[in-house]
A and B are shown apart, each in its own frame.
Chain A
Amino acid sequence: MALTRRTFALSTAAAALLPRAASAATKFPGVTDTEIRIGSTGPLSGPAASWSTVNKVVRALFESVNAAGGVNGRQLKLILLDDGYSPPRTVEQTRKLVEVEQVSFVTAQIGSAPGLAARRYLNDAKVPQLFACSGADAWIDEIRTYPWSLGWAPLYSDEGRAAGKWIAANKPGAKVAILYQNDEAGRGYLRGLKEGLGAASPGLLRAESYESTDPSVDSQIVSLQSTGADVLALSCNPKTSVQAIRKSQDTWRPQMFMNSSMTSVAQVLTPAGLERAKGALSFAFAKDPTSPAWANDPGVRDFNAMMDKFGAGLPHDALAALGASLGATVVQLVRQCGNDLSRENLVKQTMAIDLDVPMLLPGVRIHTTPQNRHPVRELRAQRFDGTSWTLVAQK
């Protein structure tokens, strides 16, 4: 009995390490006449698992496109592997995608650290790393060193900058406080906020951080309140946003600025209290599928229909909107490449995308050029009126 168990264990271990039979050799890696294989990694398990909504919605979108006949006759096959938000594992899985699963390119990798960890390998192997789900500055700052890699969404620092500039222009003399999550997103937002505020006086009075595992941020809110600030910027995850909104609007009631991931009406504002969130400002790029403002919007309706059919069980939140928009960009890219689905052409075509994505806010358009490769950089200011977000004309 023990021998059988041991043999089993050894043979399965060997099977894990031996190479899979390679798929039929084709002109372009990962591409056949009927299919294009696209890889992705995300935290399907572990504490960060809620972020994987993005990958899953991309997959749902691909499935809906496939059901309608695919792109240029080819089915889009997303191969999604779990990295548990651990960079060493991301590198392993990325290599598996390229060397074992033989994908054409990798897309929508979740997380800054995971994506940056995989970046060097993908560039060395000349595999496109397109539309990484991370707003770290590195995706734009280091694009010349790593030309095969591309981000997608506006940078975290972009959002902070937009908030800072708005405050400097529209609220002179504002006293600003910020609560931020102690990770790339929060730190990036803080950096941008400082830049945007520039020489505005008195500017940023105090910055408090929190860990995503902290039970409560009441203490930080109390500290920020004591500075006498009248503007509170928040770069938080949804759960902490609810806590922060509740606590800060209790006795303090500063003008709130929210980052794009905490604007969901259903997920954040309703639990926090719609009345409390009234008047808050945010800089966003995608439509909130649960906001009444977009209830009759054709793009949102299509999105909901797609989700109901192909993404059952997934939440209709900001991450889903992000996933749908990102997926649409991939579809357009593949379409643009036509029959030249070489990796070089894929990268070349990313410099020539001109696309209106239904789930992005009006005025936010994807327009890339060789000098400006980053797909989405625009943000729209919007204000919460107690029921939904309304766009504000930017000054």
Chain B
Amino acid sequence: MTITSSIHPDARVLAPAAPARGGSAALALPALLILAGAAATFLFSGYQLLLAANIVAYAIAILGLNLLAGYNGQISLGHGAFLAIGGYATAILMSRFGVPYWLAVPLCGLVTMVVGFLVAIPALRLEMLYLALATFALAVAVPQLAKNKLVSGWTGGVDGLSLPRIRPWSALGLDVDQTVYVYTLLVAIVAFALVVNLLRGRVGRALEAIRDHPVAAETMAIDVRFFKTAAFGVSAFLTGTAGGLGAIATAFVSPDSYAFFLSITLMVGAVVGGFRSVYGALFGGAFIVLMPNYAERLSQGAPWAIYGACTILVMLVMPSGLAGLVRAAIDRWRTRAR
């Protein structure tokens, strides 16, 4: 029996950042995931690759949300707005300016990052509950903004915007679906590596300190304003990039693609996957994309009730989400192996 079982499960996060694992073991999990992801390119085709690409794209979006809300405690119920900005920016860059997709996606990430910094300014002054409220209102307002007459010349208004075709990497023998998926995977690898690196060191500890004891953090000379703003910016960058990837996979953006419920879906995915975990984002992405398929078999028309029920159940029974479950399983397996 380990000591931690008697403490509230979230107390674990106050412990030092990542448990010190052996050098090669620390790389094992990421390497495994990358291999699995790469293998998927050739094992799956067409529809499955689209699902896979969407899962990975949502995983990046949820990673951004986890960074902001899980690690830094700034709850955002409006991350759909960043997905929309990323998606529309990519669509506009590609269709109106002819920018190739591999450039458009990082660019739209940067655009969204700027918006993130702007949003951070008023957000700094809001405590968690009120930030959730304000971002909730943001999520509701976004589709209206996309439809507005002033910008509809660019955004295609209510009819939406089609993205130009992607040229497949035929030199590598990949078709369009595989190209989109591989590109999404590559972006994900870079994004996850970036975040894991960021969180492992000083930055990660500072963010968590700000979340748990903001006043103490400030007295310890952590620049709270800087870190909170930076967290918003990076989070926006990640989610915006994910929006761009999603837009490419679907080849279409419209206000209906970014309805209010999308923001809630992201939050649900983050929670179910594991709110304070980088790898939880992968579980979250899978949950968002795959759950409706299962719910359909149960009863058509049920997904919303199931989202809600899952969220509440997860918070009650496994607050660290699926990632926490996996981690617990690994820990138990390790102690048994010793």
User: What residues of chain A have their CB less than 8 Å away from a CB belonging to chain B?
Assistant: 2-3, 5-6, 9, 12-13, 16-19, 44-47, 49, 80-82, 84-89, 91-92, 95-96, 98-100, 111-114, 116-117, 120-121, 136, 138, 182-184, 187, 211, 213
- Chain B, residue nearest A125 (CB): B46
**Distance to closest chain B CB from A67 (angstroms):** 22
Q: Mark out the residues of chain B between 246 and 281 whose CB falls within 8 Å of any chain A CB in the assembled complex.
A: 246, 249-257, 259, 261-262
Q: Which residues of A lie under 8 Å from residue B302 when comparing CB positions?
A: 45
Which label, helix, strand, loop or mixed, suits the secondary structure of the A interface?
helix
Known: A18-B48, A87-B254, A187-B157. 6 other contacts (CB 8 A): A17-B40, A80-B300, A88-B252, A95-B47, A112-B158, A183-B147
List 16 A-B residue pairs with CB atoms under 8 Å apart, sorted by A's residue number: A5-B325, A13-B286, A16-B51, A45-B304, A46-B304, A47-B259, A47-B261, A80-B300, A86-B256, A87-B160, A92-B54, A99-B46, A114-B256, A117-B160, A117-B251, A183-B147
Q: Which residues of A contact B329 (CB under 8 A)?
A: 2-3, 6
Contact A86 B257 (CB under 8 A): yes
Assembled-state Cα–Cα distance A117/B304 (Å):
23
Partner of B256, one of A44, A111, A138, A213: A111
Per a CB cutoff under 8 Å, which of B252, B259, B289 touches A117? B252
B45, B262, B290, B326: the one within 8 Å of A16 (CB): B290
User: Would A12 and B294 count as touching, CB distance under 8 A?
Assistant: yes
A182 closest partner in B (C-beta):
B147
Instruction: State in angstroms the CA–CA spacing of A316 and B254 once bound together.
Output: 31
- Residues on the A chain within 8 Å of B144, using CB: 182, 211
Instruction: Flag B288-308 by CB within 8 Å of A: 1 or 0 each.
Output: 011011101000111110000
Q: Which residues of A contact B322 (CB under 8 A)?
A: 9
Residues facing A in B216-272 (CB within 8 A) are: 246, 249-257, 259, 261-262
Determine which of A44, A84, A184 lies in contact with B159 in the assembled complex, contact meaning CB atoms within 8 Å. Answer: A184
B101 to chain A, nearest CB (A): 15
Q: Decide yes or no whether B332 CB sits under 8 A from chain A.
A: yes
Contact partners of B326 in chain A: CB under 8 A: 6
A381 to chain B: closest CB distance in Å?
Answer: 27
A87 CB contacts on chain B under 8 angstroms: 160, 250, 252-254, 256-257
From the candidates B50, B256, B296, name the one contacting A85 in the complex (CB within 8 A).
B256
Known: A45-B301, A45-B304, A82-B300. A183 touches B158 (CB 8 A): yes
Whose C-beta in chain B lies nearest to the C-beta of A19?
A: B48
Tell me the bound Cα distance from A70 to B6 in angstroms. 65
Query: Does any Cβ of A come within 8 Å of B169's Cβ?
Result: no
Is chain B's binding surface mostly helix, strand, loop or mixed?
A: helix
Is B160's CB under 8 angstroms from A100's CB? no
User: Is B311 interfacial (CB-CB < 8 Å)?
Assistant: no
B47, B251, B262, B332: the one contacting A120 at CB < 8 Å is: B251
Do the beta carbons of A96 and B332 come within 8 Å of each other?
Answer: no
Q: Is B95 an interface residue (CB 8 A)?
A: no
With A5-B325, A6-B329 in contact, do A44 and B158 touch (Cβ < 8 Å)?
A: no
Q: For chains A and B in complex, what number of residue pairs have CB atoms within 8 angstroms? A: 127
- Measured between C-beta atoms, what is the minimum distance from A236 to chain B in Å? 15
Map CB proximity to A onto B30-53 as digits: 1 under 8 Å, 0 otherwise: 000000000010001111101110
B47 interface neighbour in A44, A89, A96, Cβ under 8 Å: A96
Complex Cα–Cα for A47 and B264 (A) = 14
Are A91's CB and B250's CB within 8 A?
A: yes
Q: Which of B44, B250, B294, B332 contacts A17 (CB 8 A)?
A: B44
Q: How far is the CA of A184 from the CA of B152 in the complex (A)?
A: 12
Q: Given the complex of chains A and B, what is the CA–CA distance between A47 and B262 in angstroms? A: 13
Give A12 Cβ to nearest chain B Cβ, in Å. Answer: 7
Whole-angstrom distance between the Cβ of B338 and the nearest chain A Cβ: 17
Known contacts A2-B332, A117-B252; A138/B159 CB under 8 A: yes
Q: Does B103 contact A (CB under 8 A)?
A: no
**Distance to closest chain B CB from A72 (angstroms):** 30
**How long is the Cα–Cα vector from A95 to B332 in the complex, in angstroms?**
41
Which residue of A92, A182, A187 is within 8 Å of B51 (Cβ)?
Answer: A92
Give the residues in chain A near B151, CB-CB below 8 Å: none
- In the bound complex, residues from chain B placing their C-beta under 8 Å from that of A46 are 261, 303-304
Contact B252–A116 (Cβ < 8 Å): yes
Q: Which residue of A lies closest to B289 (CB)?
A: A92
Contact A44:B301 (CB < 8 A) given known A17-B44, A86-B257, A92-B50 = yes
B277 to chain A, nearest CB (A): 15
User: Distance in Å from the Cβ of B7 to the closest Cβ of chain A?
Assistant: 19
* Measured CA separation A73–B296 after assembly (Å): 30
- How distant is the Cα of A138 from the Cα of B158 in the complex, in angstroms? 12
Please measure, in the bound complex, the distance between the C-alpha atom of A111 and the C-alpha atom of B252, giving whole angstroms: 14
Contact A2-B250, Cβ < 8 Å, known A87-B160, A88-B54: no
Which chain B residues lie closer than 8 Å to A5 at the CB level? 325
Across the interface, do B159 and A100 meet the contact criterion of CB distance under 8 Å?
no
- Docked pose: A214 CA to B184 CA in angstroms: 38
In the bound complex, what is the Cα–Cα distance between A12 and B328 (angstroms)?
Answer: 20
Which of B160, B253, B322 gathers the greatest number of chain A CB atoms within 10 Å?
Answer: B160
Which residues from chain B contact A12 at a C-beta distance below 8 Å? Answer: 294
CB–CB B160/A116 < 8 A: yes
What is the CB-to-nearest-CB distance from B324 to chain A, in angstroms, rounded to a whole number?
Answer: 10
Q: Which residues of A contact B246 (CB under 8 A)?
A: 88
Distance to closest chain A CB from B140 (angstroms): 8
- A contact residues around B303 at 8 Å (CB): 45-46, 82, 84
Quick one: given A82-B296, A88-B54, A113-B256, are A100 and B301 in contact (CB under 8 Å)? no
B157, A100: Cβ atoms closer than 8 Å: no
Query: How far is it, in angstroms, between the C-alpha of A46 and the C-alpha of B295 when the chains are bound?
Result: 13
Q: Does the CB pair A184–B290 fall under 8 Å?
A: no
B87-128 interface code vs A (CB 8 A; 1 in, 0 out)? 000000000000000000000000000000000000000000
The interface residues of chain A lying within 8 Å CB-to-CB of B256 are 85-87, 111, 113-114
Closest B residue to A45 by beta carbon equals B301
CB distance from A213 to the nearest CB of B (A): 8
Task: Tell me the smallest distance from the CB of B36 to a CB of chain A, in Å.
Answer: 11
Please determine whether B162 and A116 come into contact, CB atoms closer than 8 angstroms: yes
**Taking each of A5, A45, A82, A98, which has the highest tally of chain B beta carbons within 10 Å of its own beta carbon?**
A45
